[in-house]
Amino acid sequence: MNKIFAFSIASILLCGSLASCTVETYSGTSSRSAQQFNIEVTPYTEAQQQATEAPKAQEAATTAAAPENKAPEQKAPEITAPQTTQAPAPQESSVPAEYVTAAKSIMVNLNDLDMIDGGAVSTGGDVIDDGMYRYSNVTDPRFGSLSDVQTYVESKVCGDLLYKYSEIYSGDVPMFKEFDSGLCYLQGGRGCGYNFKGEPSISNITGGSFTFSVPVDYFGDTQTFVIDAVNDGGLWKACSLTRQ
């Protein structure tokens, strides 16, 4: 009986002390609030609130006073003027000048012969009928006889090209032919001449011969002529011509 009484007294004293306790408010979403347990919630006193907010204010002031961490300032990259490379001086051609001169002279001669073969000869006077062909007297000062024509052609070409252009003064229907009235020329105009479109490119030099190539406008189509030249008795002549 005494134990039961003592336990009752202790319980009364414990409840009295709990009635004066202060419990912080839980701001969560749990339903287990202070009211469920009939616990009196005492609000903060002004002094307690100031004591709680003071450290926060001090921390905010310290943060505001602290220097901002700024990224180091970057300098704009320096612009350097591009270095100019001086173009190398043009190298002198390894081809002796005499071969270039000879090639150009051959080009002129070939064009001249092809023009003669095609009708570029001045004529006049009487017209002579020779079967199916008609000839006129030659008035071109370069040619006074058939021998002059032959010498002229042979001074410019040799080899295969001499065979080609020998039709100018020989064969069944030569371009030049002698009659009682003198040297005559076959009438009729034909396409002729070489329209060279560039400089000759020299190769295969062997002292007394060389090869050169040159572009040509051949009836509107650009082709390359490859010409073999030889020194014949001190004269540079074309001896063969191929088209590429």
Domain limits, the chain: 106-243
Please tell me the pTM assigned to this model.
0.61
Architecture of the domain whose range is 106-243 = Roll (3.10)
**pLDDT tens-digit readout, 49-99:** 455 455 555 555 555 454 455 555 555 555 555 555 555 444 445 889 999
Structure tokens at 104: 């150009």
**pLDDT tens-digit readout, 140-165:** 999 999 999 999 999 999 999 999 99
Q: How far apart (Å, rounded) are the C-alpha atoms in residues 102 and 83?
A: 44
**pLDDT tens-digit readout, 91-113:** 445 889 999 999 999 999 999 99
Vertex 184: Cα angle to 180 and 187 (nearest 5)? 135
**pLDDT tens-digit readout, 205-229:** 998 999 999 999 988 889 999 999 9
Local structure of residue 168 (DSSP, 8 states): G
The rounded mean pLDDT for the chain is: 75
DSSP string computed for 165-179: HGGGTSSSS-SEEEE
